[in-house]
């Protein structure tokens, strides 16, 4: 080998990574790989411990003096309270089936983003502090002591998990790393290590009913604004009910859709659908948020924010709740609502007033997903649709983690989509339905400062989108989640340029023919409809 001239470039810089055990690899915070910490005033408002100004890049994180005791006590308490947590700590056989199933690992290659190692960050402390054998054997048994660096590592990696649960699908023991992440985040809360993007929306929601802190009059104002746009496009003035008592249905959807592009078009789609049906439905400016960032904050906050929706339904005297296109709202509803705030006996099992269909699956929560509602309408031929209005879209469908893995909502959105669009193409089988890939921004990580890591985690999704773009000319990615509508556009822009993002009901809104509407020349985004490119206003 020494026969040829040595490659200078390679001698000067060694590009290979040193072989080290994960425990000895130090955690490095760089702009783009972490989310900004919770602001002290927000922590104070929420009554959470250790409010202070700090940054993950600081050497000293200003943990409380007895932080070790605090964390260990909480750890012990959680182990006692949640049997599943203790089992998850005990049973992993490190088979590695989950190792390459996490989008952050698939896109980035950091071993600590393998779900098995992510959990090991916690498990090693569990062993080191709670198990007798490991106390003696130490590192040999995969055990270690709780030191400040461990807290830093937890903060980095448990805020690099979107709690999407893809990994648990592949675990033979059903270990749910998302649950482990939740536990770890709760331990971190105890010593004041958390992120603002979760806490501020939770605080706002607690105060004003939605994440952005929009007050009732401003919310109503925004609605009118969207109704103006609808009038311009369809010639029809819609006057939605707001906070109206005695309506049959209360409709709740994420607030992200009322002010953020492209969510507003989905919002307009709902308004058009309800108008078309003459539905006896009201919106609420208090329950103006479907999302529940309490899920990422604490049990108590989750319960409270969830209870608010039901309290509003009771106050308004609605019979049941119709829920919009949201991701984790449905996780909370399906996984936690009945044990937390149920049963909601003051409500009735949802029955579609248009078709008479009774939705027994929603009997427990009294809350129906709009995709199921609309699919049922289409099945009964109750919608007057012109799918050719969506002919500019060649669309595919992104299964959002929570509705897909959390509630098994696979067919209804596809059924709706195929009826309102004429060009629909699926992404590859191992990237959709149960196996869907996360947008990289769930569980409170859809903030701007985290974009780089989001894109890293977005590679598997982006790669599948690029595939259908190249193969079928797909130019639209439809989804049923407000966080997706915020995170998928940059993801597509980076990995599959030319593909836009829409909500499902935006496309429904385009296709619905309202009674007495004028001849439409544009879609809801005010882009010309197919064949109308030359029409002047």
Partner 1 sequence: MLKLVDHLVLEQQAVLDAWFDLILGTYSENTAVLWKKRDDPFANPVRHRFEAGMRGIVVGLGTCGQTPDVATFGPYLDEIVRVRAIQDFTPSQATAFIFLLKKAVRETLWDKIVEHELYIELLALESAIDVLALFAMDIYCQCREKLAALRIDQIKKQYDRLLKRANLVCDLSAEGGEEK
Q: Which residues bind ligand SF4 (CB under 6 A)?
A: 92-98, 101-102, 104, 115-116, 118, 161-167, 170-171, 173, 175, 177-178, 181, 438
SS (H, E, C) 271-297: HHHHHHHCCCEEECCCCCCCCCHHHHC
- Coil/strand/helix, residue 10: helix
Residues that bind partner 1 (CB under 8 A): 1, 3-4, 7, 9-10, 13, 15-17, 19, 30, 32-33, 99-100, 105-111, 114, 212, 214, 218, 221-222, 225, 259-261, 264, 428, 430-431, 448-449, 451-452, 455-456, 459-460, 463-464, 467, 486, 490, 493-495
Cα 313 to the center of its chain, rounded Å: 24
Q: Which of 216, 532, 250, 483 is nearest to 370 (CA)?
A: 250
Between 420 and 432, whose beta carbon lies closer to partner 1? 432
Between 33 and 334, whose beta carbon lies closer to partner 1? 33
**In whole angstroms, how close is the CB of 84 to ligand SF4 at the nearest point?**
13
Q: Where are the beta strands (DSSP E) in 246-364?
A: 249-252, 281-283, 320-323
**In whole angstroms, how close is the CB of 57 to ligand SF4 at the nearest point?**
23
- Coil/strand/helix, residue 195: strand
The C-alpha atoms of residue 481 and residue 399 are separated, in whole angstroms, by 9
Evaluate whether 510 touches 522 at the Cβ level (below 8 Å).
no
Between 100 and 386, whose beta carbon lies closer to partner 1? 100
Determine which helix (DSSP H) or strand (DSSP E) holds 70, and give its type and residue range. helix 67-81
- Taking CB within 5 to 8 Å according to partner kind, which of partner 1, ligand SF4, none is near residue 9? partner 1
- Taking CB within 5 to 8 Å according to partner kind, which of ligand SF4, partner 1, none is near residue 166? ligand SF4
Q: Are strands 249-252 and 395-397 parallel, antiparallel or unpaired?
A: unpaired
What tokens does 92 get?
Answer: 């992993």
**In whole angstroms, how close is the CB of 345 to partner 1 at the nearest point?**
39
Between 454 and 505, whose beta carbon lies closer to ligand SF4? 454
**In whole angstroms, how close is the CB of 158 to ligand SF4 at the nearest point?**
9
Q: Which of 523, 530, 491 is nearest to 506 (CA)?
A: 523
Between 322 and 438, whose beta carbon lies closer to ligand SF4? 438
CB-based burial label for 127 (10 Å; 0-12, 13-18, 19+): buried
- Taking CB within 5 to 8 Å according to partner kind, which of partner 1, ligand SF4, none is near residue 177? ligand SF4
- Taking CB within 5 to 8 Å according to partner kind, which of partner 1, ligand SF4, none is near residue 336? none
- Taking CB within 5 to 8 Å according to partner kind, which of ligand SF4, partner 1, none is near residue 391? none
* Backbone Cα Rg of the chain: 25
Between 57 and 430, whose beta carbon lies closer to partner 1? 430
- Taking CB within 5 to 8 Å according to partner kind, which of partner 1, ligand SF4, none is near residue 118? ligand SF4
Q: Where are the beta strands (DSSP E) in 291-436?
A: 320-323, 367-369, 395-397
**In whole angstroms, how close is the CB of 486 to partner 1 at the nearest point?**
7
Between 9 and 345, whose beta carbon lies closer to partner 1? 9
- Coil/strand/helix, residue 366: coil
Strand-pair partners of 267: none
Q: Are strands 367-369 and 500-503 parallel, antiparallel or unpaired?
A: unpaired
**In whole angstroms, how close is the CB of 529 to partner 1 at the nearest point?**
19
Strand-pair partners of 424: 395
**In whole angstroms, how close is the CB of 245 to ligand SF4 at the nearest point?**
41
Q: Which residues contact 371 (CB under 8 A, 6 or more apart)?
A: 325, 403, 409, 412, 413, 416, 480, 504
- Taking CB within 5 to 8 Å according to partner kind, which of partner 1, ligand SF4, none is near residue 488? none
Q: Which of 229, 224, 353 is nearest to 281 (CA)?
A: 353
**In whole angstroms, how close is the CB of 277 to ligand SF4 at the nearest point?**
37
Between 77 and 452, whose beta carbon lies closer to partner 1? 452
**In whole angstroms, how close is the CB of 334 to ligand SF4 at the nearest point?**
17
Between 260 and 385, whose beta carbon lies closer to partner 1? 260
Between 16 and 339, whose beta carbon lies closer to partner 1? 16
**In whole angstroms, how close is the CB of 406 to ligand SF4 at the nearest point?**
12
């Amino acid at each position: 080998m020494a026969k040829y001239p040595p490659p200078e470039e390679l001698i000067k810089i060694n590009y290979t990574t040193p072989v080290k055990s994960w425990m000895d690899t130090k955690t490095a915070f760089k702009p783009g790989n972490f989310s900004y910490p919770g602001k002290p005033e927000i922590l104070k408002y929420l009554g959470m411990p250790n409010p202070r100004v700090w940054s993950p890049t600081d050497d000293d994180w200003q943990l409380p003096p007895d932080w070790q005791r605090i964390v260990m006590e909480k750890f012990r308490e959680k182990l006692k309270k949640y049997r599943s947590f203790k089992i998850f700590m005990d049973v992993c056989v490190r088979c590695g089936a989950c190792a390459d199933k996490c989008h952050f690992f698939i896109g980035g290659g950091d071993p600590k983003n393998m779900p098995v190692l992510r959990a090991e960050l916690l498990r090693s402390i569990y062993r080191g502090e709670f198990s007798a054998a490991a106390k003696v054997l130490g590192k040999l048994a995969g055990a270690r002591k709780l030191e400040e660096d461990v807290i830093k590592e937890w903060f980095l990696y448990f805020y690099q998990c979107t709690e999407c649960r893809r990994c648990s699908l592949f675990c033979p023991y059903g270990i749910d790393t998302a649950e482990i992440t939740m536990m770890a985040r709760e331990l971190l809360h105890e010593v004041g290590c958390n992120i603002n993007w979760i806490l501020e929306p939770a605080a706002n929601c607690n105060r004003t009913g939605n994440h952005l802190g929009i007050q009732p009059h401003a919310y109503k104002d925004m609605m009118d604004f969207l109704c103006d746009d609808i009038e311009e496009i369809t010639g029809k003035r819609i006057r939605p009910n707001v906070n109206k008592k005695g309506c049959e249905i209360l409709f709740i959807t994420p607030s992200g859709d009322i002010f953020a592009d492209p969510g507003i078009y989905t919002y307009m789609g709902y308004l058009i659908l309800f108008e078309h049906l003459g539905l006896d439905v009201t919106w609420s400016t208090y329950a103006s948020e479907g999302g529940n960032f309490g899920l990422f904050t604490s049990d108590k906050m989750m319960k409270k924010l969830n209870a608010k929706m039901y309290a509003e339904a009771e106050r308004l005297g609605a019979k049941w709740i119709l829920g919009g296109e949201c991701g984790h709202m449905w996780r909370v509803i399906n996984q936690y609502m009945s044990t937390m705030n149920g049963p909601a006996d003051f409500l009735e099992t949802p029955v579609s007033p248009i078709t008479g269909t009774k939705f027994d699956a929603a009997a427990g929560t009294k809350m129906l997903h709009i995709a199921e509602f609309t699919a049922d309408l289409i099945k009964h031929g109750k919608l007057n649709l012109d799918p050719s209005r969506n002919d500019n879209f060649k669309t595919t469908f992104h299964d959002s983690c929570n509705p897909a893995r959390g509630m098994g909502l696979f067919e209804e959105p596809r059924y709706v989509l195929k009826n309102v669009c004429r060009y629909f193409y699926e992404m590859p089988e191992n990237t959709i339905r149960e196996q869907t890939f996360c947008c990289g921004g769930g569980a409170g990580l859809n903030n701007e400062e985290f974009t780089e890591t989001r894109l890293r985690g977005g590679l598997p999704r982006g790669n599948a989108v690029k595939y259908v773009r190249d193969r079928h000319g797909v130019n639209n990615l439809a989804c049923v989640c407000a966080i997706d509508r915020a995170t998928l556009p940059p993801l597509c822009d980076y990995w599959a340029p030319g593909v836009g993002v829409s909500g499902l009901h935006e496309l429904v809104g385009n296709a619905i023919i309202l009674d007495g509407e004028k001849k439409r020349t544009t879609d809801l985004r005010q882009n010309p409809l197919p064949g109308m490119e030359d029409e002047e206003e």
